[in-house]
Amino acid sequence: MRDAAPQTIYLSDYTAFGWRVEQVSLHFTLAPSATRVRSRIAFAPNADAPAQPFFLHGEALTLISARIDGQDITPDVTAEGLTCTVPDSAFVFEAEVEIDPAGNTALEGLYMSNGMYCTQCEAEGFRKITYYPDRPDVMAVFDVTIEGDLPVLLSNGNPVSTAQGRAEWHDPWPKPAYLFALVAGDLVAHPGSFTTRSGREVALNLYVRPGDEGKCAFGMQALKDSMKWDEDVYAREYDLDLFNIVAVDDFNMGAMENKGLNIFNSSAVLASPETSTDMNFERIEAIIAHEYFHNWTGNRITCRDWFQLCLKEGLTVFRDSQFTADMRSAPVKRISDVIDLRARQFPEDQGPLAHPVRPDRFQEINNFYTATVYEKGAEVIRMLKTLVGDEAYAQAVQLYFDRHDGDAATIEDWLKVFEETTGRDLAQFKRWYTQAGTPRVSVAEDWADGTLTLTFTQSTAPSAASPDPQPQVIPIAVGLIAPDGAEVATTRVLEMTEATQRFAFDGLAQRPVASILRDFSAPVVLDHPDADPAHLLAHDTDPFTRWEAARTLARRSLLAQIRDGAAPDEAYLDGIHRVATDRSLDPATRALMMGAPGQSELAGVLAEHGETPDPMAIHAALEDMRAAMAARFGGDAMMLYAENTVTEAYAPDAAQSGQRALAGVMLSLMTRGDNGTAAQAQFDHADNMTQKLGALAQLITAGRGDAALAAFEDRWRDDRLVMDKWFGLQVARAQPDDAADVAQRLTAHPDFNWQNPNRFRAVFGTLAMHHAGFHHASGKGYALLADWLIKLDPLNPQTTARMCSAFQTWKRYDTERQKLMKTQIDRILATPGLSRDTTEMLTRIAG
Ligand code: ARG
Ligand code: ZN
């Protein structure tokens, strides 16, 4: 049951819990609709906390009995939890509750997925399992007993005993309840092992449903690589005898770092060449690393409260990005991360959902697992490292581990280790955590007497979250390129702290071309009217700014096409053709260079300039650009395609995937001239999903995808993850007029299981990302999405609320579209019993 007026929780209201938990024993008797949970919790008064009534969280629990020190009690029970009178000294609280995993469609707490029991407790799901102080600053040692007639019974920590139908687990490391996990089912283990640097043997297992055994090897290797990397780079060793990963088909997010028992969305761990694309492999490797790295940044050191979420997520995303850079290509990873940041975080930070990396208020914490907390949170740590240097960063992080091991910490604790290590005052830098919005940095150039002066101005648009933003510390990495292409000044990091600031480079023989924001040294929008992107595209030594030069040229051309009906810019086409045929560049980088900014990004750029984006005009401009590109490449496309066709056995490594990416771009150019002949050949002969799916996409675009789609469905109808691709691709490749109709038609498909988040997202997440299709002038895209969000909300509020962000940019568009979107937002909001999650999201979006 939901309160009439949802409650807002404030960071400033934090108070410690009045008791410490010395030990927890849980006993589960599993049954699909009537699982019994018996708890025994040893409490002792916390002298550091203010006096308070004894309150335990608990939701959707049927209380069977409760005792304090062995005496039966009758607590006051509400929809949020339980209150009772307790002794002044230490005491033991016991309870028995009944829960209904089979009826749990929200996929939070203990639920069932394909006949298997699993849990998701972060952020506040443990309270749906039993009565408990469900807050991250209460850490305890857990003992768990599971009884159930299933072959595999798992929980956190090390096994104490396992017998048929019964298992006991002990986790020696104190942990908050959100890291609790339980899994029970008919599962098979793909085993492995790892010897830590101090010589301890760790047993590793990847548990999957029978039939998925062939999709485990890659994930297992990624886990071993992650364990080794964290020892080598961060001196972090694993701390249990066992590390288990379980793949689950029904999961709201990517994966979860439960202590010693990570639970993964099957899409984030299962992989094979026949069923997974190169991008899938790379993402799986990164997510396995991410969850593993949480063992130190999140588990050993956790968060004091949920406002500090970025303490573990920003740092862990940063660590996994370093890992991917080391395992693959650092420039490719950096460029891909910037593409992702601009696509997902910038719209959030520049719209009604803007919030600081460390928010200071929320209604539903699940709504704050955002690109801002995660990805901007990682960018903030990257900047910190750039500012203090690699050595000081390493020292500060080691101090953080030494000082805070076993703590539930805060951003203040994190910044303090940097202040102490470096002697720097980070008070102004801290604004990156407390202030919302993307800073705009504009730069003007002055050239006189051998000196180039750069004048930078920063400003951040006010938002509901930050009405009066102040200047931030912005590291701006700059290099200078001479007219002949030589680098005359290597990268120097300018530290901007004022609203306006000048930096001079003197002793220059000729006016150089400035390469600014190298390696994307800060998450800002750069405005540099004097830039010479054509020169940088040809000569920049920094891979990021060189790529950015191509992007800038593409953006300029596209904006001129959209605004004035100009033709695609010849200089851009020449430059990109030169880059694509430059064999000194690796294929992955060349493929990235050829990518144009997305439709939604262009809409955002127009909106920032006070213009109203027309989705159809944006779509048409990109089509014209691709046609012009195909014409400019001519026969070179086929040559580059052949040159980058991998002949060795498939491997999901950086080198091969780079070649396939470039060949894929060439195939898309070729398809414009051959009506899909080459694509059909690739589809017929490919032995891996990357090429199959790439070819299928081209066939749909060429208007001859039906036979291939049918063959694909026939081949893969029993593989859920592959079928997700089949559903998604049809929406993604639909013409703007048809996208909503295709999505609607797919909802009638017998395999459209809308209660499965992956399948729901395959259709509706893809529709929301189909810019011209979702924003179809008829409003049918908006209406269809709203229909399904209304349908999903009562079952799964979390996934519904996340998908509401499709409407976050509604104020960018023309009044007619605004009206159409607002009508749908209001219609969803008017739904009786709408969840707190969805209500909060749409209320903020409506502004
Ligand atoms: N801590 C997990 C991760 O980043 C995310 C879990 C979020 N789940 C949720 N229901 N909010 O790896
Ligand atoms: Zn995480």
From 421, 459, 410, 468, select the one nearest 438 (Cα to Cα): 459
pLDDT band of 329, cuts 50, 70, 90 = very high
What is the complex's ipTM, to 2 decimals?
0.98
Please work out whether the CB of residue 730 comes within 6 Å of at least one atom of ligand 1: no
For the cut 50, the answer to whether the pLDDT of residue 505 exceeds it is: yes
Amino acid at 387: L
DSSP 8-state code for residue 211: T
Tokens read off for 731: 């929406």
pLDDT of residue 3: 46
Whether the per-residue pLDDT at 826 is higher than 80: the answer is: yes
Concerning whether 291 is annotated as a catalytic residue, the answer is: yes
Burial of 593 (0-12, 13-18, 19+ CB in 10 A): buried
**What is the predicted pLDDT for the residue at 738?**
98
Mean pLDDT of 245-250: 98
Strand-pair category, 140-147 with 91-99: unpaired
Rounded to the nearest angstrom, the distance between the alpha carbon of 313 and the centre of ligand 1 is: 9
**608-645 b/e with 16+ CB inside 10 Å = b?**
beeeebbbebbbbbbebbbebbbebbeeebbebbeebe
Among the residues of 366-496, which ranges form H helices? Answer: 371, 377-388, 390-404, 411-422, 431-434
Q: H or E stretch including 333?
A: helix 330-340
Please report, rounded to a whole number, the percentage of residues in the chain having pLDDT higher than 90. 99
With a cut of 80, say whether residue 414 has pLDDT above it: yes
> DSSP states of 732-800 as a string?
HTS-TTTHHHHHHHHTTSTT--TTSHHHHIIIIIHHHH-HHHHT-TTSHHHHHHHHHHHHHTTT-HHHH
Choose among 117, 124, 143, 167: nearest CA to 38: 143
| Rounded distance between C-alpha atoms, residue 502 and residue 825, angstroms | 46
Q: Which ligand is nearest to the CA of 378?
A: 2
The residue to mutate among 253, 302, 836, having the most atoms of ligand 1 within 8 angstroms of its beta carbon, is: 253
Q: Average pLDDT of 82-96? A: 98
Residue 225 CB neighbours (<10 A)? 17
CA angle 51, 54, 58 (to 5 degrees): 140
Residue 1 pLDDT more than 70? no
Phi, psi of 39 (to 5 degrees): -125, 150
Given a cut of 90, whether residue 2 has pLDDT beyond it is no
pLDDT exceeding 70 applies to what percent of the chain?
A: 99
* Distance separating alpha carbons of residues 298 and 334, to the nearest angstrom: 24
Q: How far apart are CA 724 and CA 714, in angstroms?
A: 14
- How far apart CA 663 and CA 640 sit, in angstroms, is 7
Q: How far apart are CA 289 and CA 230, in angstroms?
A: 9
- pLDDT for position 6: 80
Model pLDDT for residues 189-219, shown as the tens digit of each residue? 999 999 999 999 999 999 999 999 999 999 9
Give the residue whose CA is nearest to atom 11 of ligand 1: 366
Contacts of 311 (CB under 8 A, 6+ apart): 303, 409, 410, 411, 414
pLDDT the model gives residue 4: 53
The arithmetic mean of pLDDT across residues 553-563, rounded, is 98
Q: Which residue's CA is the closest to the ligand 1 atom numbered 5? A: 256
Closest atom of ligand 1 relative to the 290 alpha carbon = 12
Question: C-alpha angle with apex 97: 92 to 99, nearest 5 degrees?
Answer: 145
Q: Tens digit of pLDDT for each residue in 371-389?
A: 999 999 999 999 999 999 9
CB of 100 within 8 A of CB of 110? no
- Mean predicted lDDT score pLDDT of the chain: 98
What does the alpha-carbon distance between residue 384 and residue 140 come to, in Å, rounded to a whole number?
A: 33
Q: Residues 291, 364, 379, 601: which is the catalytic one?
A: 291
Pocket lining: 122 vs ligand 1, CB cutoff 6 Å: yes
Q: Which residues are paired to 408 by β-bridges? A: 302
* pLDDT surpasses 80 at 776: yes
